[in-house]
Every structure is written in structure tokens, then in C-alpha cells.
């Protein structure tokens, strides 16, 4: 006798309180847009305002994770509720502390920081180009992929 096992597909609950699918992603999108807007402000030399906006977005994410049910959180629900909340609170408070404790820079300090940032960006671009060019010539599974000491063939 053969026994056939079937997998039952799990279906979402069809209660009256179920909202549209995009509504579950709304808290995550708010946090993501807040962090992106804060990074844009930091890019335009509004470090304090941008960092405070990032901290506020992270703290909003912690509050949403604490108060909303898991069905309405989307990708904000990663681990257990307490771990997610404490992580977001810690990161939000750390960003706020740094934003409020760093003294404002003069124009020379901004120019040096921008030059250092450009140097880092150039190094990353060069390393990325070298990596892409090095992997372009060897196809996957070719003779160059054999471990050292083993002859291909």
C-alpha cells in the first residue's frame, strides 16, 4: 500500500478585519522613507536635522513594533517583539545622541570630510571594477576554479 502525503497550503485568514496587503507594509515604508529622507538631509549638509529624522524614524519603528499586531507590521517583525523593540530603541537613541553631541563643523572641516568621503568612494569604485573585471574572464566551473594542488581534468 502506498500512502500519499499531500501538503496543505496555508491560507491567510479571511476575517472582517483583514485590510489590503499594502497596509501591512505601511509602518515599514514609513520607517524606510524616514531613514532615506534623513540620509538625503545629511547629504545636503544638514547633519543634525537628518540624524534626528533618522532617530525619529527608528523610534517610530520601535513604537509600531510594540503596539501593532504582527499581521500589520510587514518586514518590521523580524525577531521576537522584545528583541526588535530594544534593537530599534537602542539604535534610535544612539543616532540621536550622536546627532546632538557632535559639535557643528566649520567650512574647512566640511571640506576635509567631503574629500575623505570622495576618497573612500573612489576606492570602492576601483575595487568593484577590479572585482568585476577579474571575474569576467573566468566562466563558472572552469579550470581556474579547481582547488590548489588538484589538477583539473
Domain shared by 55 and 125, yes or no: no
User: Does residue 105 come out as left (phi exceeding 0), alpha (psi in the -120 to 50 range) or beta?
Assistant: beta
Task: Please give the average per-residue pLDDT across 42-51, as a whole number.
Answer: 87
- Residue 37 grid coordinates: 529622507
Lowest-pLDDT range, 28-37, 67-76, 135-144? Answer: 135-144
| Total of domains in the chain | 2
Domain shared by 119 and 55, yes or no: no
pLDDT at 72: 76
Domain shared by 95 and 50, yes or no: yes
Domain shared by 80 and 126, yes or no: no
Angstrom CA distances, 123 to 100, 113, 133, 134, stand at: 31, 15, 15, 16
pLDDT at 58: 93
Compute CA 1 distance to the chain's CA centroid, rounded to the nearest angstrom: 52
Residue 27 confidence (pLDDT) above 80 = yes
- 46 belongs to a structural domain: yes
Domain shared by 43 and 98, yes or no: yes
Query: Model-level pTM?
Result: 0.57
Q: Which residue has the higher pLDDT, 24 or 1?
A: 24
- 117 belongs to a structural domain: yes
Residue 112 domain boundaries: 105-136
Q: Which residue has the higher pLDDT, 44 or 147?
A: 44
Domain shared by 128 and 91, yes or no: no
pLDDT at 26: 84
pLDDT tens figures, 103-133? 776 777 767 777 777 888 888 888 888 888 8
Residue 99 confidence (pLDDT) above 70 = yes
Amino acid at each position: 500500500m502506498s500512502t500519499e502525503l499531500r501538503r496543505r497550503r496555508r491560507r491567510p485568514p479571511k476575517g472582517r478585519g483583514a485590510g489590503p496587503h499594502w497596509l501591512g507594509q505601511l509602518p515599514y515604508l514609513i520607517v524606510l522613507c524616514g531613514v532615506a529622507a534623513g540620509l538625503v538631509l545629511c547629504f545636503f549638509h544638514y547633519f543634525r536635522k537628518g540624524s534626528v529624522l533618522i532617530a525619529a524614524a527608528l523610534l517610530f519603528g520601535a513604537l509600531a513594533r510594540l503596539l501593532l499586531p504582527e499581521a500589520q507590521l510587514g518586514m518590521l517583525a523580524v525577531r521576537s517583539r522584545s528583541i526588535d523593540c530594544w534593537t530599534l530603541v537602542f539604535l534610535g537613541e544612539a543616532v540621536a545622541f550622536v546627532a546632538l553631541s557632535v559639535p557643528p563643523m566649520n567650512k574647512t572641516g566640511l571640506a576635509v570630510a567631503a574629500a575623505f568621503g570622495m576618497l573612500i568612494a573612489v576606492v570602492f569604485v576601483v575595487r568593484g571594477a577590479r572585482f568585476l573585471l577579474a571575474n569576467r574572464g573566468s566562466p563558472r566551473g572552469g579550470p581556474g576554479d579547481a582547488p590548489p594542488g588538484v589538477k583539473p581534468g
